[in-house]
Amino acid sequence: MTRRPGQTGFTIYEAMMVLLVVAIVVGVLTPSVRRQLTRARINRAANVMAADLFLAQSLAGRQRVPVTVTYDVTAKTATIVDSRSAGPTFITRRYGPDSDFKLQSIAATPTAIVVLPNGMASAALTVTLSDGTYQRRIRMTRAGLIRVN
């Protein structure tokens, strides 16, 4: 199609070709962007969970009483409570689909530990966060060392 002098703009054919190229690029990039967002969400959840274990150590030392960290894998929550009977709940964090993390799977072994005022724990803890293809592990030794793998 030839253009007359003074006629500007794109033809419908040119506009459709540009939209087609943009749609192809978006279609190719969407899976990798979604995968990166999922990994970022799991990494953030792992770092928050490790920070909560540090918080439990700090609370136990400050209060001078043991605190209990409990993981409910079906509700996908972590709770830090005072170990004394009828003690206060310091924090309950949600990791399931109703939270910012939207995790599909949490596994904890054991599901509850007691953190002593000196920073040591009653047992070694391993928490695994996963979406099926990507996972992170948070480990706390009995000596109180916390690592995110």
How confident is the model over 107-115, as a mean pLDDT?
96
**H or E element, residue 140:** strand 135-140
Mean of pLDDT over the chain = 91
How confident is the model over 119-134, as a mean pLDDT?
93
Per-residue HEC secondary structure of 64-124 comes to CCCEEEEEECCCCEEEEEECCCCCCEEEEEECCCCCCCCCCEEEEECCEEEECCCCCECCC
pLDDT at 94: 95
Give which of 108, 103, 100 is closest to 131, Cα–Cα. 103
Q: Is the pLDDT of residue 4 over 90?
A: no
pLDDT at 79: 95
Report the predicted TM-score, pTM, of the whole model to 2 decimal places: 0.80
Sequence ranges of the domains in the chain: 12-148
Domain 12-148 fold is: minor pseudopilin epsh fold (3.55.40)
Give which of 132, 2, 124 is closest to 53, Cα–Cα. 124
For 5-26, b/e burial (b = at least 16 CB within 10 A) is eeeeeeeeeeeeeeeeeeeeee
How confident is the model over 49-59, as a mean pLDDT?
95
